Amino acid sequence: MKRSAIWIALALVGIAVATWGGYWWGLKHANNLASEMTPTVSTQKKILYYRNPMGLADTSPVPKQDSMGMDYIPVYEGDEVQTGQIKISPEKVQKLGVRTEPAALRELVRTVRAVGQFQLDERRLHTVTTKFEGYIEKLHVNATGQPVKRGQSLMEVYSPELVSAQEEYLIAWNGRQSLSNGTEESLVGVSRLAESALKRLRNWDISDAQLQRLKKDGKATRTLTLYSPANGVVLEKMAVAGMRFMPGEPLFKIADLSSIWLLADVFEQDLALVHVGQSVNISVNAYPDKVLTGKIAYIYPTVTPETRTAKIRVELDNPSGILKPDMYASVQLVSGHGKADAVMVLDSAVLDSGTRQIVLVQRAEGLFEPREVKLGMRGNGYVEVIEGISAGENVVVSANFLIDAESNLKAAIGSFGHSAHGKQGKSEADKPVTPAANSEHKGH
């Protein structure tokens, strides 16, 4: 019985070994067949180097530990981060709401806004005055604001000097006619007297038409008519009927309002965008449905120290007279300043610390590089980049301050941890050994 039991046990063990061997051989054969049918793909990335675990600039080509016993972290191919770059996982980039936009060449356009007032055209102002003393006998224009035409009579004046000069000229003129058959010397003397009297009248701005009438009538007129020198309106009327006036005293001020000036105040920082001949759009509160256009005719050479503004002059035609002196107006100047297309980024892409300006450039997915840039002019939500980036580079335009904050936080935590470990290591390593400690150690 014992022998038969032993043989049965051996038979069962053999069957089990044979079954396991067949399963193992079949599994190996299946794996070999699958490996033959499927090409081998290596998913193992190549290790480029090992970096310091505390974020320091120290790297190693082989595995090692720092002074605190921490293992250096391997950097695989495709995951390397150069000094100064920021690495953030794609998931965190999505959570932060990071948005990028390529820097592009754009036309540098900026809208300059200013306010101004309409003023009289200084070249179209006229003052009516006389070069002789006299009295106002009669006013033909007797109201301020009254429109007048060139050559229109303004008033009639009486001057004793003027009457005497006319009589003197008539005596000389009549004597010249009566002495036409006289001696040559007498004719020369009378002619000189007549020319002297005529010159005196002309020096008093007596018109040629009035002199011709004087010759024709042959008698002096008691009053002289003064005429308007230009078309316009009477801005000021100092003349009053019956008043006495002196030489050079202003009697009327007349302005031609068919052309008017707009003087606008431009801030000092915008003066580089303004030039003579530039087109401007003008809106006036009194006429909100009208958009006027004009061109800059002159830029005044001084800056007002209280407001830090300079005045520009725009000349406008005003045939209907709707634009009136001292009315307010808003001015818009669209300026490209004559520059070629420049590299532009959105204003939100710039991190400005006050002393320098930084732009985050996306080098790869989740990999960002801070770039210090030199900025130029701004306009319409964009800023010109003179140095630092090139057209086509992707820059972060949204949530860039969050990336910057996270990178600064990582650096602060790394330096804090390194400093703490350094202090701890120093306190343990550099701790002096006291004699009592030595004796205690020897006793143990």
Tens of pLDDT, residue by residue over 137-157, are: 999 999 999 999 999 999 999
Spell out a b/e string for 210-245, using b for 16 or more CB atoms within 10 Å of the CB, else e: eeeebeeeeeeeebbebbbbebbebbebebeeeeeb
Nearest to 176 by CA among 161, 163, 193: 193
Tens digit of each residue's pLDDT, the chain (444 residues): 556 666 666 666 666 555 655 555 554 554 454 444 444 434 567 787 777 766 565 778 888 888 778 788 787 765 555 656 777 777 877 878 888 889 888 877 778 899 999 999 999 999 999 999 999 999 999 999 999 999 999 999 999 988 888 888 888 777 766 666 656 666 677 777 778 878 888 888 888 888 888 878 878 888 888 999 999 999 999 999 999 999 999 999 999 999 999 999 999 988 888 999 999 999 998 898 888 999 999 999 999 999 999 999 999 999 888 999 999 999 998 776 556 678 888 888 888 877 888 888 888 887 888 888 998 877 778 888 988 888 889 888 887 667 666 566 455 544 444 444 444 444 443 444 433 344 444 433
Q: At what angle do helices 160-178 and 208-217 cross, to 10 degrees?
A: 60
Taking a C-beta distance cutoff of 8 angstroms, is the pair 432, 114 a contact? no
Give the pLDDT confidence score for residue 427 in this predicted structure. Answer: 40
Cβ atoms within 10 Å of 71's Cβ, excluding its own: 11
- The pairing of strands 350-352 and 357-364 is antiparallel
- What is the predicted pLDDT for the residue at 106? 83
The rounded distance, in Å, linking the Cα atoms of 341 and 227 is: 59
Predicted local confidence at residue 420, as pLDDT: 41
Instruction: Tell me how far apart the alpha carbons of residues 370 and 396 are, in angstroms, rounded to a whole number.
Output: 10
Q: How many CA atoms lie within 13 A of 315 on its CB side?
A: 11
pLDDT at 153: 93
pLDDT (0 to 100) of residue 22: 56
Give the domains, in start order, of the chain with CATH numbers: 47-76 (no CATH), 86-107+340-423 (2.40.420.20), 112-121+257-335 (2.40.30.170), 130-249 (no CATH)
d(Cα 176, Cα 181) in Å, to the nearest integer? 10
